Structure formats: structure tokens, C-alpha cells
Chains A and B, each alone.
Chain A
Amino acid sequence: MTVLADVAARPRGSTGRKIGLGLLLVFLVVLPLGTNIEGQTWVTNARLFQFTQMFMLITLASNWNLTGGFTGYVDFGHAVFFGLGAYGTGILMTQQHGIQWPFWAAVLGGAVVAAIFAVLVGFPTLRLKGPYFSIAMLGTFVAMREIIRVTKPVTGGGVGLTLPPYLNRALFYYLTFGLAVLVVSVMWWIRRSEFGSSLIAIREDEVGAEMRGIDTTLHKITAFAIAGFLSGIVGGMWAYQNTFIDPDVVFIESRTVELVMMTMLGGLGTVAGPVVGAATIYWLRDVVWAAFFDWHLIVEGALLIGIVLFVPTGIVGMLGDRSGTSLQRLWGRWLGSRDRPGAGPDPPRAAPPQPQGPQGDAGDEP
């Protein structure tokens, strides 16, 4: 089972697709004006709020994809950067003794804190491979929640912080929309750049990349810091919009895995994947929430398992795959995953192919 879609760096974007994308962007830009139209009930402040949430998820999933999808370091604690951004912003905006920073400066401050933390924590953890990195980051995340809880004089501890309220749904809509567009463009740019190719080279064969002259540590840490910074901004915006933060609402364990799920559904390691995945899951969840109120988390867990087992290359990967209709491929995967287990020879190891490491071939030349 491969979990990475093959998508070339420079897809030949068809004109139709470009027009579609343009129309979608225009629609999203004018959408908030709909609140002024008399008599319609679809575009409401609640609706704008939903879109705001979706934009944030798109941004977070795209950031996660930079380390998890491109570089191949699956981060189970990415929400720690979101949390640091939220708390950085919250603390700077409510500072009792010093100056209370204006929102924009506080958000930047929080994001810088998140980026610095990414560099500090990245140095030890990005040396770890595979699941060890994932779990170390999960640990970082859990640990940070406890640290925030006990550093009460600064963070408010379990009581939390209340930010100056500012209710303007349209403003948050445009802020998060702009951020999402910016971040997706940045990811698109990175994917086309030499830096982005290097990240993928690291994912595909880190030892080989190092021997071919890529400073892997520098690349990994830079990607991690970029992702941390951008997720920090999201955290700051979220904190201001929510007006209240405490360790339990900011550091929710499921948030990180949600990002993994969204990115995988859309397509790991692609620019469009996190966008498609986040949007799909956000609206799907709305439906699930309404239909199975008590059960919605159970349904989500099942959804996660289903996505991993049956749509491993994600929507973008499936659209790129030209063998048969989507339904046929889904069916094929279902059969495939029923037959595969245990029996027969080992299935080929999925991407990213792991170099056996120099130890592996030392001294046993054929």
C-alpha cells in the first residue's frame, strides 16, 4: 500500500481547471457580502464562522503536509505550534504589567515563538526516524500542555486567558481566507522550488540525499520552522477569534491526528491534497455531527481507519490514477486489502522507500 501520490512538480494545469479555481476564489471573496442581502438565510455570520474554521484547517493541514508529506516526517504533535501561537498571542494581548500588544503584533510574536520552538525541538527530534519522530512529537505536544498548565503566572494555568473580545466575523473570514491563500501559494511555490525537491529527496532517501550534498538537517529544520511559524499564526487568529484559551481547548489531542487524516484523505505530499482533504472532512463532519450526535467521534475514528485502508493515496492521488473509474479502484482496494494480510510473500514496502542505511549493505557485497 503506498501512501504517497505521484504528482509531478509542474502539472500541466488545464485552462478549465484554472478558470474553475479562479471562479472559486472570486466566490469566496464576495461571499461575506451576502450577509447584506435581504431575505436570504444561507450566508449568515454562523456560516462565515464555519468557513473561517475551514480556512484554518486548510492552513494547518498544508503546514503539516510540509513536514509530514513532503519531507516524510510524520508529526503527531503539530498542534503544539498552533497552541504556542495561540498562547503567545493570548499572553501578549493580555499582558498585565507591560504593554498590551495590538493583535497583529501579538500574532506575529506568537508565530515567532512557535517557529523558535520548532527549531529548538526539531534539533533533537528530527534526528529520529519514522515512528520515533511521530511519538516524540506527540510527547512534546502532551508535555507542552502540562507545562502551560503549571506555568500559571504567565499562562493563567488551568483557568485560562480571556482575550479582548472582538466580534467581526467578516474580518476573521478575510484574515483566515487570506492566510489560507497565502499558505497554499507558499506550498505551491516550495513544491516547485529546489528547496521543495530537496525535501522530497530527503523523504525518499535521506542518507542518499545527505551524501549527494543536501544539508539535510538545515532543510528539515527550515521546513519545520516554516510550518511552525505558519501554524503559530493560525493559533493566534484562533485565540483572538475564540477570545478564550485554556490548555484543554487549545491542546486537543485529536487536532493533530485530524490534520493527518485530512492530508491523507486529500493526498499526502501534494499541494492540493491538504486543501481538498480539509475541506471535505470539515463539511463531512458537519453532516456526521448532525446525524450521529453522540456517536460522531466513533464515526470519525471509523472514517480514519477507512481512509487509511481504502483511499491510501488520497483523493488527489486517485484522480491522478487513470486505471478504471474511481469506484472500480475503490472496490479493487477493498478486495486487495482483504486478500493481502499475512498470506503470501511480503508486500513490497510502501513509499517512502527506506534506504537500508549504510549499515545494511556493509560488508556483504555480492
Chain B
Amino acid sequence: MDQFLQAVINGIMLGGFYAAMMLGFSVIWGVMGVINLAHGEFIMVGAYATWVLNKEFGWEPFYALAVVLPLMFVVGYIIQLVLINRIVDQPHLVSLLVTFGLAIIIANAMKLAYSADPRLTETGFAGAWELGNVTVPVTKTVILGVALVIMGSLWAFLHRTKTGKSIRAAAQNKQAARIVGIDIKKIYALTFGICIAITGAAGTLISPTQAVFPFMGPPLTLRAFAITALAGLGSIPGALMGGMVLGLVESLIGIYVSGIGTNLAIVSAFVLLVVVLVTRPQGLFGGLRPMEEAQPL
């Protein structure tokens, strides 16, 4: 029972991180119709930025958010203007291939810059609380907290600010949004910038718990895709639920199928993805726009 409780707690913490990690992917897809296969690579870049600040300047990793968020926003904004703008509303095959090319470039550029060695950051938020026989690690609690704050802020931004409402309008009906005077191009650049900023922030969050290396991206992208399928495009509550489901599945499998469990986590993500896609093509929790409306290849 304790083992089960522990797995549930781990799963919830993992799930909170997953939810924050995949939001950028899901919103970009929902708003711009671009499936960003370089998503995991942007997380990796955020993680490297955090590692540099931690190692070179001795920053507490979580405080690195102050740098990572604006930095990644600028990176995203520029990449949108230079590259992504060309593939918005193109067939999905185009966006898949272009962002995959981008992923190869980013991953290998980071390998050139920092080698393929795994890097670890050190956080002051260490230790753990003991609740009965269950351990609650402090680091992961902080991660969960920051993840929830990120999600809450994004929700508030999308629903309470004028710009956020414009973004949602653009996601639902581009033509109508244009008619009421929304500058779609600017909205897209802003959306991409914001999404990449929170994606980079996810890199900061992951850095104290996992080694950072240039090729850590693809499994994260795959998970982001799986959760998007669970959650529906651009839905923040859905993201939280989907993240939790995946986090719990991975954590429970990790405990009960000992030895091979962690390796099979990615397999479970995939099986979940296929099952959901086949049975509920619109996602489990609805979203910005129905999945069927997603463009064809």
C-alpha cells in the first residue's frame, strides 16, 4: 500500500511537470496548426541555459527562470519570424519535416557546443519530507509548484488579457479574427514566443532531476504528443489531467514491473497514445479546437 501511495505521489509530481512541459506544444498546434517536433529540443536548450547559469555563475536553478523565460521568448519569436511563418497552415507533412530538421540542427549544435556528456545541476531545494512511510522530495514539490504557477499564468493570460483572447480567437477562426482587425502574423509570433518560453522553462524544471544532454529531446516530444492526444489541442485543464494520467501510468509501471519498468515508460506513453487516438480521436477532455479539424497531411 505504501508502495502504491508512493507511486501515486511520484506520478502526480511527474504528471504536473509533464503538463507544464507539453503546454507549449499543444498551444502551438492548436493556434497555428504546426506540430513542433523540435519541442523536446527547446526544453533541452532551456535546460542547458539553466545548467550554464548554475555551473558558471552558481545560480540556483529555479532562479534561472528569470533568464530562461525572456531568453527563450526571444528565441521563439525570432524562429517564428524566420522559419515557422513559412509553414503555418501548410500541410502537416511540411511542418513535421521542417521542425524535425530544426530538431536535428538544435540537438547537434548543442552537441558541438557542450559535447554529448550528461550534465547535472545542483539545487538548494534538496532533501525530502517523510509522511509516514511515504517520501515527498522537496525538489519535485518545487517543480510541481512552479509547473502549476506556469499553467495558471498561461490560463489567465489566454482568458483574461486582450492579447490572450486574440490568440484564442485566431485559433478558432483565423478569417474572422483577421476581419475584426487582429494582426495574425504578430499573434503567431507572440504565441510561438510565449510557448517556447514556457517550454524552455520546463527545461529549467527538469534540470535538477535529470541529466541534461543534447539528445534528451525526442522522448519528451513524444510524451508531449501523447498528452496532447489525451488532452485535446490547447486545453490547459486537459493538459493537467492528461499529464497526470501519463505520469501515474509511468510511475505505477515503474514500481510494479521492476527492473524493466523505467525503460518501458516510453512504451507505456506510446501505448496510451495509440489507444486514445483509436478510441477517442477528439481527445479525452476537449480543447481549443476539435482534433478532426486539424489539417491533413
Contacts and interface: CB of A to CB of B under 8 A. Distances in A.
Interface of A: 1, 3, 72, 74, 76, 124-125, 127-132, 134-136, 138-140, 142-143, 146-147, 149-150, 253-254, 257, 260-261, 264, 294-295, 297-298, 300-305, 308-309, 312, 337-338, 340-343, 346-347, 349-354, 357, 359
B171 interface: no
B192 to A, nearest CB: 12
B216 interface: no
Contacts of B295: 130, 349, 354
B93 interface: yes
Given A300-B104, A305-B101, A350 B90 contact: yes
Dominant SS at the A interface? helix
A142 B278 contact: no
Contacts of A295: 108, 112
B267 A147 contact: yes
B160 interface: no
Contact of B297 (A131, A302, A312): A131
22 contacts: A1-B91, A1-B94, A3-B94, A124-B274, A128-B277, A130-B296, A131-B35, A131-B297, A135-B225, A139-B269, A143-B271, A146-B263, A150-B264, A257-B97, A294-B112, A297-B104, A298-B104, A302-B101, A304-B101, A341-B86, A342-B188, A359-B292
A199 to B, nearest CB: 15
Contacts of A359: 292
Contacts of B98: 304-305, 308-309
Contacts of A129: 281, 296
Contacts of A346: 89, 174-175
A281 B279 CA distance: 39
Contacts of B103: 301
B71 interface: no
Given A132-B277, A264-B97, A357-B292, A349 B108 contact: no
Nearest to B183: A342
A132 B92 CA distance: 10
A301 B96 contact: no
Contacts, number: 155
Interface centre among B188, B264, B291, B297, by most A CB within 10 Å? Answer: B297
Contacts of B174: 346
Q: Which 10 A-B pairs have the closest CB atoms?
A: A354-B296, A139-B270, A301-B104, A304-B101, A341-B85, A301-B105, A342-B185, A305-B101, A297-B108, A143-B267
B266 interface: yes
B294 A131 contact: yes
B243 to A, nearest CB: 17
Contacts of A149: 263
Contacts of B101: 301-305, 308
Given A138-B222, A341-B185, A350-B90, A305 B83 contact: yes
Given A257-B100, A341-B85, A342-B188, 18 more contacts: A3-B93, A3-B94, A128-B278, A130-B294, A135-B273, A139-B225, A139-B274, A150-B263, A260-B97, A294-B112, A300-B104, A301-B101, A301-B108, A304-B97, A338-B86, A349-B296, A352-B296, A353-B296
A304 B100 contact: yes
A139 B273 CA distance: 9
Contacts of B278: 124, 127-128
A311 to B, nearest CB: 12
Contacts of A261: 97
B58 interface: no
